[in-house]
Amino acid sequence: MTEPLSPIATLRRELDAGTTSSRKLVEGALARAGRLESLGAFVGLRAEAALAEAEQADARRGRGELRSPLDGIPLAIKDNLVQAGEPTTCASRILAGFVSPYDATAVARLREAGAVVLGRTNLDEFAMGSSTENSAHGPTRNPWDAERAPGGSSGGSAAAVAAGIVPAAVGSDTGGSIRQPAAFCGVVGMKPTYGRVSRYGLVAFASSLDQVGPFARTAEDCALLLETLAGHDPRDSTSLPESVPRYREALTGDVSGLVIGLPREYFVEEGVDPEVLAVVRQAVAELERAGAKTREVSLPHTRHAIATYYLIAPAEASSNLARYDGVRYGHRASGAESLGAMYRRTRSEGFGAEVKRRILLGTYVLSAGYYEAYYRKAMQVRTLLRRDFEEAFRGCDVLLTPTAPEVAFRLGEKAADPLRMYLSDVYTVSANLAGVPGVSLPGGFAHGMPVGLQLLGRALDEATLLRVADAYQRRTDWHECRPPEPA
């Protein structure tokens, strides 16, 4: 039998009661991963290592030496976070054969907490995409409808949690890559404040926007994971020094008096599926019934966010991806007679179309004569977007918006049209540009597919986001809806 895994909180009760063991959980997870292989959620499983680590966790439990509430819990890691002794592919041919000699800080912290890494999950190549279709390993499918995309770029992690293979997973979010797939797959996904979780060992896409964050079924499990992931790391110069609150203690279920801002620009009819908007409005009403106040606010520069993002992210990416040159690791084209030929052939063979597109775009906007007009301009608009949030948060505690303007689209539906694909990040990129935290949680269904609610908060105020998300989940059961079991 391969039952979908319950939330961590439930699993811990069963472990404490002795009705299950870490080994049983990991065995079940591996069996289920095998059974649901056609989802394409995983690009690699650590079957033996995971079972061995589970047994060690059971032994610790036996000795009463549990390291943390995550001890012995199987998790999945997006394949752009390096793990010592394991391959990291970033779903790219250019990293073929690469095995990392070191652990990402986020991974190391989970290991120290006793969590068992079951395997590496699929993504768009170098996290560049919104559908997990741009992967050297093939696409990941949406557990709710195999013909649809799980969103991206952390589609593998979102699908693995939605399908109940693991209770929680880790992903990265540069323009919505955690929140949008969480929305499409009907799970909770959080992008913390920029600098809250160390980026050390996260393969860089756009360094000033990238942030590591958790996926889970409940806000409570997200809080638990974030307590482990977050915190200052001297190896990351952009890591924030502030101490980490005990997020679970913020989950009081009480939102009375809390002011929820509804950004006008996110509720415009055009460009957003009306059924999605309807779901979001029901959620607003639910939170009002719970005692929260709502008011309309404005983020006037929102319509410039995508343009700003698609100048800044590719520019940084074009530089971050220069290290993939076939010299020290990864793919090298064979038989090149000169260094220049080796570079060109290696990179042309190794990178997929979307990555090449963004490298070209980024190289272009940084190149002589265009820097001022494009890159510098984008950095200035980024300032305006940041100020929008500062202004909005003077009048409210959190913002509530749709996570995406639509439900999960069909595989291949947007693959041919880069710009249309880019526009599906319209509600998520602003948080990355401003560095503020955001969470997406299941808010209902439209067209039979999950709809995500996005909560955005003040910098370092993840606690309030989780409190609201948890309060909402106490009053609704959307997060308990399971995708159909494949025959």
Which sign does the torsion angle of CA 431, 432, 434, 437 carry? Answer: positive
186 makes contact with other proteins (CB under 8 A): no
367 makes contact with other proteins (CB under 8 A): yes
By CB under 8 A, name the one of 278, 285, 322, 481 that touches other proteins.
322
190 makes contact with other proteins (CB under 8 A): no
137 makes contact with other proteins (CB under 8 A): no
Which among 64-72, 348-356, 397-405, 466-474 is the span making contact with other proteins, rule CB under 8 A? 348-356
Per the residue annotation, which of 131, 177, 198, 239 is the catalytic one? Answer: 177
Smallest gap from residue 274 Cβ to other proteins (A): 24
By CB under 8 A, name the one of 138, 147, 235, 395 that touches other proteins.
235
**Binding positions for other proteins, 300-319, rule CB under 8 A:** 301, 303-304, 306-308, 310-311, 315-316, 318-319
Q: Helix (H, G, I), strand (E, B), or coil: what is residue 294?
A: strand
Show the tokens assigned to 273.
């599926």
Active site residue 78: yes
By CB under 8 A, name the one of 64, 419, 477, 487 that touches other proteins.
419
Nearer to other proteins, 57 or 378 (CB): 378
Show the tokens assigned to 65.
């030496």
Q: Assess contact for 237 and 204: CB atoms under 8 A.
A: no
| Distances, alpha carbon 319 to alpha carbons 129, 204, 360, in Å | 18, 10, 11
Q: Does 319 sit behind a cis peptide bond, omega within 30 degrees of 0 on the bond before it?
A: no
Per the residue annotation, which of 21, 78, 191, 424 is the catalytic one? Answer: 78
Per the residue annotation, which of 22, 153, 172, 424 is the catalytic one? Answer: 153
Report strand pairing: 449-457 vs 74-78: unpaired
Q: Which positions from 243 to 262 touch other proteins by CB under 8 A, shown as an x/- string? A: --------------------
Nearer to other proteins, 88 or 142 (CB): 88
By CB under 8 A, name the one of 384, 391, 475, 482 that touches other proteins.
384
441 makes contact with other proteins (CB under 8 A): no
Contacts with 183 (C-beta within 8 Å, 6 or more apart), sequence order: 151, 189, 403, 404, 440, 442, 450, 451, 452, 454
Smallest gap from residue 56 Cβ to other proteins (A): 25
352 makes contact with other proteins (CB under 8 A): no
Strands of 259-263's sheet in order across: 42-45, 116-121, 74-78, 168-173, 211-216, 188-191, 438-446, 449-457, 398-402, 259-263, 293-297
By CB under 8 A, name the one of 45, 163, 187, 204 that touches other proteins.
204
Residue 195 falls in which region: left (phi positive, over 0), alpha (psi -120 to 50) or beta = left
330 makes contact with other proteins (CB under 8 A): yes
Which among 21-29, 42-50, 90-98, 178-186 is the span making contact with other proteins, rule CB under 8 A? 90-98
465 makes contact with other proteins (CB under 8 A): no
HSE of 274, CA atoms in CB hemisphere, 13 A = 1
End-to-end, the C-alpha distance of the chain in Å comes to 14
238 makes contact with other proteins (CB under 8 A): yes
81 makes contact with other proteins (CB under 8 A): yes
Active site residue 38: no
Q: Assess contact for 287 and 468: CB atoms under 8 A.
A: yes
CA 84 to chain centre: 21
DSSP-assigned letter for residue 374: I
Catalytic residues: 78, 153, 177
